[in-house]
Amino acid sequence: MPAAPQPLDPHAAAAARIRVLIADDHPLVRRGLAAIIDMEDDASVVGEAGDGDEAVRMWRALRPDVTLMDLRMPKVEGVQAIRRIRAEDAGAAIIVLTTFDHDEDIYAGLRAGAKAYLLKDVQPEELFRCIRAVHAGEAYLQPRVAAKLAQRMQEETLTEREVQILALLAQGKSNRAIGQSLFITESTVKSHLKSLFVKLDATSRAEALALAAKRGLIKF
């Protein structure tokens, strides 16, 4: 007689699940994500963090298989939290899940070490595909996120000094005031602004600021 089928071991099934940590400063978002993820047979939420600092601490304590990380959070923002986690474990599987689709945000998140970048309007089916792919060691990008990243890679990168000048420009400072803040001459400021305008394809300060904001280089 054939051997009777063995009952499934609930402990083994639980161990096989992908353990997910959610980091988001909105409780309703965390609870909604947790409810959706826990409905899956192969995934479960093991922790919820409300800010970037807590996300790093919970990651250390729980060592989840996959972490869903928002970008804009109190205390420590998502990109910095990703850097801290990846500094401790270069193989940490982190997915950025955010509302921000600026090309600079996407670039910063992936450069920090995220394996995937999703927008919060993602369908549950795609979220699960992403979680499983990242858990398997793969990278994952939504098509529109990939398109924005490709556009970002084609655009000229601003220098650190140009970014500093752009930030001061956003504060409404004059060329002279910018020079005083950075301890450079007014003519040097004008030279950097000329380079900025070329890289941003702008013809005025207002247009440069608008284009920089669109790319996520400055935030008002």
Q: Residues 44, 82: one domain?
A: yes
**What's the number of domains the chain is made of?**
2
Residue-range definition of the domain harbouring residue 165: 160-215
On whether both 30 and 126 belong to a single domain, the answer is yes
Place of tokens 């193989």: 91
> Over the stretch 61-113, which tens digit does the pLDDT of each residue have?
999 999 999 999 999 999 999 999 999 999 999 999 988 877 778 878 888 99
16: exposed, middle or buried (C-beta count within 10 Å: 0-12, 13-18, 19+)? exposed
Q: What is the mean pLDDT of residues 203-219?
A: 82
Say yes or no: 133 and 172 in one domain.
Answer: no
CA atoms within 13 A on the CB side of 100: 23
Lowest mean pLDDT among 2-11, 23-32, 50-59, 181-190: 2-11
Environment class of residue 204 by beta-carbon count within 10 Å: exposed (0-12), middle (13-18) or buried (19+)? exposed
CA neighbor of 98 nearest in space, from 84, 76, 116, 111 = 116
**Domain boundary, last residue among 120, 152, 184:** 152
Asked whether residue 57 falls in the same domain as residue 96, the answer is: yes
Segment (H or E) for 47:
strand 43-49
Q: Are 24 and 81 part of one and the same domain? A: yes
Nearest partner of 21 among 97, 77, 75, judged by Cα: 97
111-126 pLDDT, tens per residue? 899 999 999 999 999 9
Same domain, 109 and 167: no
The CATH number for 124's domain is: 3.40.50.2300
